[in-house]
Structure formats: structure tokens, C-alpha cells
Structure 1
Amino acid sequence: MGSEAGASKPVIKVAAICGSLRKGSFNRGLIRSAIQISKESINGMQIEYVDISPLPMLNTDLEVDGKYPAAVEAFRQKILEADAFLFASPEYNYSVTGPLKNAIDWASRSPNVWADKAAAIVSAAGSLGGARAQYHLRQIGVYLDLHFINKPEFFLNAFESPAKFDTDGNLIDSASRDRLKALLLALQAFTLRLQGKI
């Protein structure tokens, strides 16, 4: 029984999206850890990894008779069904990655399926831990009517010693796992508050 077990809470569904397509990505490792932590010690939270790699590049010519390509329709449905979002965003050139921005843009096409939901961001990158990408993602979220939690923030320098990840990209640093759990609990509380359930 997890440390957060006790009185039953409404179950929230969290869609986890990684901006890196690389299987060994540290950011993908953060999502795997978040899923594990939620299963082991957070009552009332289900996190599902949603793969953005099948999405074609945004092209409105692909929208036919009000329909989107099959991969886009499936992705948009996952976003629509989620109560909240966990973004794992590496930093490319001071910003979010192309695949992540592409996914965001597809789901923002009418009707915008991001709107009025809670979100949190984690990132593993170089010296600033992806901070600039996170701030850019928050700016994008303003127009999407996404509501990001403000604290705690989670930036992780993936390359400092001692090692934070193993050779398979799994998070092994206990302090970082504790910080990740704190962020997930904050996302859960904020989501329930937005939904009027607490």
C-alpha cells in the first residue's frame, strides 16, 4: 500500500507526452518514473504515455471533410479524454522540440482539446535543466487555455555527477524521484481543484 493510500480520491487520468522521440531519452525516463511512482504511491492518479511519433507534420491539406488523419484523430481523442497533462520537454535551441510543437498544434485545431485542463512540465537537459524550453511551453499554453501548475518546478541537469540516469535512461536518483513525486501530487491537487472536486 502506497504512502498516499487512505481515503479514496477521484481518479484523474493524466496523458504524459514526451518531446523527444528517442527511446533512450532521459525525458522519456522521467515519464516512466512518473508512471511507476503514481502506481506505487499516489492514490487516484493514472498516467498513460501518449506517443507522438506517428503524427504527420501539421498540414491543413490533410484535413478532409472535417476529419483529421487517423493518427491525429487517435491522438486528439487521448488528449480529449485526459483530465491533465504531464509534458516531458527537452530543450532544443532555447525552445521545445519540433515533434512536441507539432503535437500541440494538431490538438489545438478546432475544437481545441487542450482547453481548461491542468498541466505540469518536467525536463532533463543540460546545465539549466531545460528551463528555457519550459518557459516557452508555458507561453504556448496561455493561448491553449492550459493551466500549468506553478510550483514545484522540475528541472534536472541530466549530465552532472553523480549520475541521475542509468544506461537505459531510467531515473535512478532518489532525490529527483522525490521531487518528481511532489510535482505529481501538486498536479493531482490542482486538477481536482479545477474540476471542483476539492
Structure 2
Amino acid sequence: MEKNRKIIGLCGSLRKGSYNAMLLKVAGELIPKGIRFEIVTYDDIPVYNADNDLPETEERPASVTRFREALANADAFIIASPEYNYSIPGGLKNAIDWASRGKDSPLMHKPVAVMGATQGMWGTVRMQTAFLPVFTFLNMNPVLQPEVLIAQAQNKFDADGNLNDEKTISIIQRKIDNLISACKV
């Protein structure tokens, strides 16, 4: 990946103290120097309504326009998310829906790596699988290996949000390396 590239991080949890926010922070720290990393939030985006998604008349809500502009500057994405009801959390899916619309979608044809942390035993496997049709529709390039499925996250992060499991850190590093390699295409 050339220097001056940028990776955008999206967190599927909006709560303070989220293990996935901690995971995204760890991922950002593992990205090589020379590649910019920015976490973009979406907590001010309204529920998707096609009546408000008319780019030709510039009627998208300002928060959506800002979100799409931030994503447009990305060469790749990292999504760290919990699993809600065996799937993608509603807020994150809503933000992706806003970003997916139009021929100017800032997500199209870009590499993406998904990872997740949960206090449960399944490590967000269903959420990650639920993203595959979304990525297919957007012609994104999902980096599928290695899978980052952090189960029992409460035992792997310390009170300051640091990941204290070296094996997991190694897997995250390999995932990021594969994401960066996907950007070279």
C-alpha cells in the first residue's frame, strides 16, 4: 500500500466502554506508519428514508453528507462490531444503507475487513456472515482471513481497554496486513 493511504474504521457499537471500540483502537495502533487511520462515527445519522436521499437535489441530511464525504476519502475500511440478534447492529446497518446509495457510493469496490468482540462464546460469527451480501451488492473486496472472532472479550481486555491476549493481537495484525495487501490491487 502506498504512503498517504487512508483506512477508515467503523464501530458497530455506540456505547461507552464498548469492546468493539477497544478492538478498533487496537487495530488502528497496528496499522503501519505512513498509513492514516481514522474512526468515523455515525451516531447523528437519521433512520434511512429514500424521500431524504435525493443527491440530484442535494436533499440528503447534512450528517449523512458529512459521513459519506469521510468515507469517500478511504482506501479501505475496518469494521469492528458486536452481533445483535444474530446480525449487524441496526445503527451500523442504517449508516451503511445511507452510504450505499447512488452511483457515487463511497463504499463501492473498496477492501473491507470485519472483526468483532463479544462477551459470549460465538465471537460475532453471525454478524460477520450477515455482511457478506452487503459486500456483494457493493462490489466490495472483503478480507475474509484470518477471522477475528473475539469471544469472552471481558477476559481479553484490561480495565484501560488494552487487549492483553498476544495470540489475538497476532491474528488482528495478520488481518490488517491482508487488508493492506488488498489495497495494492
Answering whether residue 16 of structure 2 is matched by residue 16 of structure 1, we say: no
- Of the candidates 141, 153, 166, which is equivalent to residue 147 of structure 1? 141
Measure how far apart 1:150 and its partner are: 2.2
Separation (CA, whole Å) in 1 of partners of 2:134 and 2:4: 27
- 2:173 paired residue number: 181
Separation (CA, whole Å) in 2 of partners of 1:23 and 1:12: 29
- 1:128 paired residue number: 122
1:133-185 Cα shifts (integer Å, max 9, x gaps):
0011122110011110121111110347xx20123443222221121111111
Question: What's the secondary structure of 1:46's corresponding residue?
Answer: strand
Alignment of 1:1-198 (within 5 A): 9-38=2-31, 42-63=32-53, 65-110=57-102, 111-125=104-118, 126-159=120-153, 163-193=155-185
**TM-score, normalising length: structure 2:** 0.91
Gapped regions of structure 1 (runs ≥ 5) = 1-7, 194-198
Compared with structure 1, are the counterparts of its residues 9 and 61 closer, same or farther at alpha carbon in structure 2 (3 Å cutoff)? Answer: closer
**TM-score, normalising length: structure 1:** 0.85
1:100-150 Cα shifts (integer Å, max 9, x gaps):
100100001112221110000110122110001001112211001111012
Contact 1:118 1:148 in 2 (8 A): yes
Q: Percent identity?
A: 36
Question: What's the secondary structure of 1:74's corresponding residue?
Answer: helix
Structure 1 residue ranges (4+ consecutive) displaced by more than 6 angstroms after TM superposition: none
Question: What's the secondary structure of 2:85's corresponding residue?
Answer: coil
Equivalenced residue count is 181
Contact 1:158 1:165 in 2 (8 A): no
Gapped regions of structure 2 (runs ≥ 5) = none
Separation (CA, whole Å) in 1 of partners of 2:45 and 2:160: 25
Separation (CA, whole Å) in 1 of partners of 2:41 and 2:152: 22
1:4-40 Cα shifts (integer Å, max 9, x gaps):
xxxx9433211100110012110110111111222xx
Separation (CA, whole Å) in 2 of partners of 1:109 and 1:153: 28
Aligned-residue CA RMSD (Å): 1.7
